[in-house]
Structure 1
Amino acid sequence: MAPRKRKFENRDLPVGLCCKMVRGQQRFRYRYPSGKDIFFPLKTQKYEAIEAATIFNAKHRNPALKMILDHDEFNKPMSHWIKVVIERVRNEELNTRLLSKGRYRAFVNDTMRLDELLGDILSKSISLQHVNEFLDKYASGKSNEVYNRKITFLKKIFSYICDMSGMVLNPADRKKRKPKQAKQRKRLNIEYFNLILNASNSWLNIAMRLSLQTTHAVNEISLAKYKDCEWFNAPIVENGLTVYGVLRIHRQKVQNKEASRVEIPITKQLKKIIDDSKRDNIASPYIVHALLGRKKGLANGLTHPTQLTPVYISRAMSDLRDELNLYGNFDKPQRPTFHEIRALSIFLYDKMGIDPQERAAHTDAESTKVYMKDHVKWVKIQPAELVI
């Protein structure tokens, strides 16, 4: 269908621009190729409207210019670059253990969201406006921490695309981060810890006691295996405590640091926890374990039917906390979770005069702070235990 012939008074105006009467006043209107209309501000001069429309048309309505832009072999849709970036992150970060499996899955999930929102847009057309669109859709109403994590994600994926010439500048670098929020969660006290512990099932009881005794978070507790324990031929005495062996833990949050692998002495209390975990007669390689009768198979990241995810363990404690109506006068985000057991543990050790951050043995003639085992560095931890 042929376009409608322009009115006489608009015959000398660029394509898309026309003059209309609006509420008794003459206004210049521009119609985008998409069909959307905008009106120029009042008192806009004719030459100004013509200049603006001419510049816009030269960029967006000129087939020859579009042909030149399309010739840029690196200016490809975001969906193309997203696939390439995922592959690079897998090879360069996941396979080299610079990135944990959990964080890699979170990264891939975010790339899928980015692909859904901006996948059709050419990479060199991505701007701060698109960054804001992504944040508005996927971080609106979330905490400042989540908001800032999404900015970090965008910076990361755009930096990879810049590295491959798909973008000239990283638009996420121009985005302002939100200030760090004060911690809302209340501390878990020993009285409420014991109430939850006494009401807990067998595997949650083991998880809570193991976290309290080792000062480690749920990520490490959920991965602790019996094979990580090395038992001595005969108990020894260190710092006035009987030590039966060592439990080796690879800390997930700082897994690439030298101090990420720690060797914790198995004292009487820790040995009792490990022994108690075997009383259910469930064959499992994991110290914290359960048979849940999963109907949908194993969740992502699990390798054994008796293995529990960190989220499942943490949620079980939170549910029990609420069933007991503990901290019920606080909003849910303020109620202590499993993670607060670690803070409680550090607090209790501190009351005993033991600094959990400095439990690594000092270098001297008889012991070393860091030693090698199977070409891996391990940090020795001084024996200590909590009796509650």
Structure 2
Amino acid sequence: MAPRPRKKRNAGLPANLYTVGKGYYRYRRPDTGTWHGMGNDRAKAVAAANQLNGRLMTGADLVADVMGDSVSLNGFLDYYEAEVLPPRQLAQATLDLYAVRLRQIRAALGAQDIGQITIGMVSTFLDGLTPRASNQARAYLVDVFNYAAAKGLVADNPPEATIPRIDNKTRKRHTVKGVRKIYAEAEPWLQNAIDLALLTAQRREDILAMRFDDIRDGALHVAQHKTRRASDAGWIRLPMTPQLKSLVARCRDEVPSPFLIHRKPERRVASGRHWTQVDNRYLTRAFKAARDAANPYPDWSPAQQPGFHELRALSLHLYKKAGKDGQKLAGHSTRKMTKNYEADHEEVVWTEAVADLDLSNITG
């Protein structure tokens, strides 16, 4: 990736000195990234910038000064999102999370020259996030800077020198009694989603991707978005047990949809999705609304309230309690498994798992 030359309006100015508007100058401290007004007198601004650079510039700044060009973090993130992420074939939910964190990174550090970003700048940014968000953003930045180092744009990896935050998970687990109350407040399509989560122990995005035409040869076939490219365990064949057959029949209603979980929206919006398809965020919000209406856990704080995702943990717990093995349903393997290379050919090796949890005592 070729370095991006300095803008013409800033050509001839000392490093870290920039023009803004008509003849106004600003100085960016190379150690903290903070901006400081320098007035509209060019000679005074240049003299002050040279003096500050003499005190504040690091070796990386001197190299940039000699080379006369630089690459902003925003510029490199454009490359990272266009060239690095696509080949990884990440699940849409993961890409959505990347998008959120990279937007935050761009807003805080994007304008900085990537070679001049310091540990202090990264640390200040990360300190402004929650522990979980901070650790996610830190991991992404470490990866970004590894690629930047491979391109010769940075000499080290400042994000890697920061310390991950301790993330004590405060969200509690669902109880059967609590789920019953939430279920009573849920719309029919959401009830179907809850039942599918409990019966199949699948992730939110995999439940929403289930289609009626995935049912063939007497089984529902699930290609788990998160694990299907890393393990053979991610390709699951669920025989049509009486419990699953009954649930699928209930999913068939008057709304013509290819998806098991669907709803008729108030109005159709052009989104690239089928008009009846439910997306991850809508499901999360709908479940939260039903949970808040039911108030099943009145003694727990808002941060402790479990969401739709936690239904999976309850499902696996109930399978274990019933003496059944939920490991195959979850797509977990007991040993290190080779990547399912068949996924890129005509035939895929499916792992059979039985979804036969008795829901009658849970959601009725």
TM-score by length of 1: 0.69
Counterpart amino acid of residue 277 in structure 2: Q
2:54 maps to what in 1? Answer: 57
* Structure 2 equivalent of residue 381 of structure 1: 353
Deviations, residues 334-361 of structure 1 (Å, cap 9, x unaligned) = 122212222222222122211211579x
Gaps of 5+ in 1: 1-32, 37-52, 232-244, 361-369
105, 109, 113: which one pairs with 1:122?
A: 113
> Structure 1 pair 246/121, CA: closer, same or farther in 2 (3 Å)?
same
Read off the aligned partner of 2:67 and give its amino acid letter. Answer: D
Residue pair 1:371, 1:379 contacting (<8 A) in 2 also: no
2:240 is matched with 266
2:244/2:355 contact within 8 Å kept: no
Tell me by how many angstroms 1:67 deviates. Answer: 9.0
Asked whether the equivalents of residues 246 and 263 of structure 1 are also in contact (C-alpha less than 8 Å), the reply is yes
Tell me how far 1:272 sits from its aligned partner: 0.9
* Shift, 1:128, TM fit: 0.2
The within-5 A match list for 1:42-191 is: 57=54, 69-72=64-67, 75-93=70-88, 97=89, 99-137=90-128, 139=129, 142=130, 144-181=131-168, 183-191=169-177
Residue in 1 aligned with 2:229?
256
Counting aligned pairs with the same residue, the percent is: 24
Structure 2 residue runs without a partner (length 5+): 1-34, 39-49, 331-339
Q: Which structure is larger by alpha-carbon Rg, 1 or 2?
A: 1
SS of 2:67 mapped into structure 1? coil
Asked whether the equivalents of residues 74 and 166 of structure 1 are also in contact (C-alpha less than 8 Å), the reply is no
- How far apart are residue 371 of structure 1 and its match? 12
Would the alpha carbon gap of residues 129 and 353 (structure 1) be closer, same or farther in structure 2, given more than 3 Å must change? same
Q: Name the residue aligned to 1:329.
A: 299
Structure 1: how far apart are the matches of 2:241 and 2:87? 40
Spell out, residue by residue over 1:163-210, the C-alpha distance to the aligned partner (whole angstroms, 9 max, x if none). 1111111111101112241x3223222223223223321101110111
The structure with the greater share of residues assigned to strand is 1
Cα distance in 1 for residues equivalent to 2:86 and 2:221: 28
Matches of 2:134 and 2:222 in 1, distance apart? 31
* CA gap 1:359/1:162 in 2 versus in 1, 3 angstroms: closer
Give the match's secondary structure for 1:92. helix
Contact 2:170 2:303 in 1 (8 A): yes
1:212-260 alpha-carbon deviations (Å, 9 max, x no partner): 11111222111111111114xxxxxxxxxxxxx2111122332322211
User: 1:91 Cα deviation (Å)?
Assistant: 3.9
Provide the TM-score with structure 2 as the length reference: 0.73
Instruction: Say which of 191, 195, 198 aligns to 2:184.
Output: 198
Q: Superposition RMSD on alpha carbons, in Å?
A: 3.1
Bigger proportion of residues as helix: 2
SS of residue paired to 2:350: strand
1:292-311 to 2 correspondences below 5 Å: 292-294=265-267, 297-298=270-271, 303-311=273-281
- AA matched with 2:208: S
